[in-house]
């Protein structure tokens, strides 16, 4: 099967590295607080037969920097946002970056970073305008993204999920992996579709616990 997504593998592999680091940081926090486990990264598993080599072949717009809208709320979200911000500062593949989060939460590192970096920040619920952004990135957001929002992005949405899907779908996957004594877990990067059953997993990074 050839992977048909307009998102380039450079972007997805960058996400792999920063989300792997984010997972290790969160797992270490849980380990210190619970005494249950500490996880170490085992490496990348590509979930497509073409190893993402086909993802850029049919998209004329890929060479242009993207307008990215980031959805996130917590410490796990932050490394992905920081990576996007570095690309913005360095003139990389991001030319515009904004954040959707919970502005009223007492503790929200994503909001705090967005304010410090002078990024546009929108409170959830968010009403998307088709064409305002090219691509969305979701990381530990905690809210269901509606079909209308998903379809407002010409290049779609990626989701960074802290488990080896299909295990531990939904909220708090790190917590449930630790609670159930999983010997292996990790991070999945997936392409978001309007229906959950249609979501396409792109990469997984495995962690031995």
What gap in Å lies between CA 141 and CA 108, rounded to an integer?
11
| pLDDT tens digits along 42-75 | 544 444 333 333 333 334 444 578 899 999 998 8
Domain boundaries, the chain: 9-56+64-190+197-208
- What CA–CA distances, in Å, run from 10 to 14, 78, 79, 207? 6, 19, 16, 22
Average of per-residue pLDDT across 85-92: 89
What gap in Å lies between CA 151 and CA 88, rounded to an integer?
24
Choosing among 3.60.21.10, 3.30.360.10, 3.40.50.170, 3.40.50.300, the CATH entry for 9-56+64-190+197-208 is 3.40.50.170
Q: What is the pLDDT of residue 78?
A: 87
25 neighbors 32 (Cβ within 8 angstroms): no
pLDDT at 100 over 90: yes
Average of per-residue pLDDT across 185-204: 69
Q: What does pTM read for this prediction?
A: 0.73
Q: What is the pLDDT of residue 71?
A: 96
Q: What is the pLDDT of residue 47?
A: 44
Q: What is the pLDDT of residue 55?
A: 34
pLDDT at 126 over 60: yes
């Amino acid at each position: 099967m050839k992977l048909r997504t307009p998102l380039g593998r450079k972007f997805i592999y960058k996400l792999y590295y920063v989300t792997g680091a984010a997972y290790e940081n969160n797992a270490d926090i849980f380990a210190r607080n619970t005494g249950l486990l500490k996880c170490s990264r085992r490496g990348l598993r590509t979930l497509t037969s073409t190893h993402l080599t086909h993802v850029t072949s049919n998209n004329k717009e890929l060479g242009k920097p993207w307008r990215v809208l980031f959805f996130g709320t917590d410490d796990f979200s932050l490394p992905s946002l920081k990576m996007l911000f570095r690309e913005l500062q360095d003139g990389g593949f991001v030319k515009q970056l904004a954040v959707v989060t919970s502005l009223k939460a007492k503790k929200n590192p994503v909001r705090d970073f967005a304010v410090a970096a002078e990024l546009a920040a929108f409170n959830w619920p968010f009403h998307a305008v088709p064409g305002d952004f090219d691509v969305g990135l979701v990381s530990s957001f905690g809210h269901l993204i509606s079909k209308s929002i998903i379809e407002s992005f010409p290049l779609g949405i990626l989701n960074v999920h802290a488990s080896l899907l299909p295990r531990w779908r939904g909220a708090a996957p790190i917590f449930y992996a630790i609670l159930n004594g999983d010997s292996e877990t990790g991070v999945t990067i997936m392409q978001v579709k309007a229906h959950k059953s249609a979501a396409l997993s792109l990469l997984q990074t495995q962690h031995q616990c």
